[in-house]
Amino acid sequence: MIRNSQKINVLVVGGAGYIGGAITDVLLAKKISFSVYDKLVYEHQYMKPVDFIYGDIRDYKRLKSILPKYTHIIWLAAIVGDPGCQIDEWMTRAVNVEPVKWLVKNYKGRILFASTCSVYGKSVSMLDELSPTQPLSLYAKSKLEVESVLAKHPNVLIYRVGTAYGVSDHHSRIRLDLAVNLLSFKAVNEGKLTYFGGTQWRPFIHVKDIARAFVNGLGSSAKGIYNLTTENSQIKDLAKKIGKLTNCKVEATEQPFQDERNYHVDTDKAKKAGLLKGLKYNLGHGIKEMATLASLNRASSEEPVHFNEKHLAGLMKDNKKIWKK
Ligand SMILES: NC(=O)c1ccc[n+]([C@@H]2O[C@H](COP(=O)([O-])OP(=O)(O)OC[C@H]3O[C@@H](n4cnc5c(N)ncnc54)[C@H](O)[C@@H]3O)[C@@H](O)[C@H]2O)c1
């Protein structure tokens, strides 16, 4: 719990993104003072009426001048997702790893960091925070490396977040490169879903529940690594659920799927620390949200901006924005 006597001021780094939108909504609702720091990699403008600082996390001079104002940092900025990180290894390290190394040396306040359950890679067991990691992608490797860098800081909470789904806030871009969101759009737009094998597990969590957990973490004394998810599901069961809720045909296919990830995680540690208080959404809710967006044509899966990899590949091809600090 955050008491009024504690003067909290939060810098949400990467706060203009999909998860950042939901976090800033919760901060506003709780009247917690904050600013957003973001380079707007996916947007032309930031319309949310909150304090906003346009900046790159590689601009250490800039960060150094503003960090002393903030008691807490929620660090979300990254090149996000396996395909996006594959585009340029140097760039992925420059954004996902080096700025966090700098932060650990230059910031004394509390850090809340978004890592990923992808660090577990492939395993048939239920995984807790002490289970072996086996990152299969550059994205997961970059997050695992940063976890060990952050371990040197005295006040860090790291969430290994499951795959997000659902609608964030009114301003943020919908990500359609996430399993639940993409499959729900496909179901509505194509009337048919196919899955290969489908026995692979994945942990899922509504983007607003991620936001709630981050804000819970601000006032908590919890430190170290915590799995963060609300539901584990096998892909075939997810497809069937989407089929049922959208009236679409679901079929198994022989066409192998590239993504080898398979993991399901236990969240007892986060539950015991009180970090999951107030989390309330389930997959059914998120699927219906996405199906509504798709049927009302509120977002188009033809637009590259909804897919990190497609958008970043376009920016990098044009040698724009992402390269320059
Ligand atoms: N969405 C998920 O399913 C999921 C799952 C696990 C972990 N995470 C982690 O949560 C965090 C947020 O994810 P998201 O889904 O909101 O992604 P996102 O891509 O929507 O948001 C990332 C934000 O970071 C900003 N950013 C990127 N490079 C920057 C730079 N150089 N300087 C300043 N800002 C920069 C972008 O402009 C964007 O607003 C990421 O660290 C991600 O790895 C997300």
Tell me whether residue 3 is in a domain.
no
For the purposes of burial, counting CB atoms within 10 Å of the CB of 65, is it exposed (0-12), middle (13-18) or buried (19 or more)?
Answer: exposed
Contacts (Cβ under 8 Å, ≥6 apart) of 23: 12, 15, 74, 76, 210, 211, 214, 215
**Residue at 169 is within a domain:** yes
CA of 155 to the centre of ligand 1 (A): 22
CATH of the domain at 233: 3.40.50.720
Q: What is the mean pLDDT of the chain?
A: 94
Q: Ligand 1 centroid vs 84 CA: distance in angstroms?
A: 11
- Name which of 125-139, 172-186, 212-226, 252-266 the model is least confident about: 252-266
Asked if residue 178 has its Cβ within 6 Å of ligand 1, the reply is yes
Nearest CA to ligand 1 atom 26: 77
* Position 79 in a domain: yes
Closest C-alpha to 281, from 164, 202, 144:
164
In a domain, 306, yes or no: yes
Q: Which of 18, 88, 281 to mutate to test the pocket of ligand 1 (most atoms within 8 A of CB)?
A: 18
Count up the domains in the chain and report the number.
Answer: 1
Are the C-beta atoms of 262 and 201 separated by less than 8 Å? yes
Domain assignment present for residue 240? The answer is yes
What pLDDT is attached to residue 257? 65
Instruction: For residue range 23-75, list pLDDT tens digits in order.
Output: 999 999 999 999 999 999 999 999 999 999 999 999 999 999 999 999 999 99
Is 4 part of any domain?
no
The pTM of the whole model exceeds 0.85: yes
* Cβ–ligand 1 contact at 228 (below 6 Å): no
Q: Is the CB of 16 within 6 Å of ligand 1?
A: yes
Whether the pLDDT of residue 158 is over 80: the answer is yes
Any idea what the Cα angle at residue 61 is, between residues 59 and 62, rounded to 5°? 70
Using alpha carbons, select from 227, 67, 58, 223 the residue that is nearest to residue 153.
Answer: 223
Residue 323 lies in a domain: no
Across the range 205-220, mean pLDDT stands at 98
Distance 254 CA to ligand 1 centre (A): 33
Domain with 228, as residue range(s), is: 9-317
185 vs 176, 234, 242, CA distance in Å?
8, 19, 10
210 or 260, higher pLDDT: 210
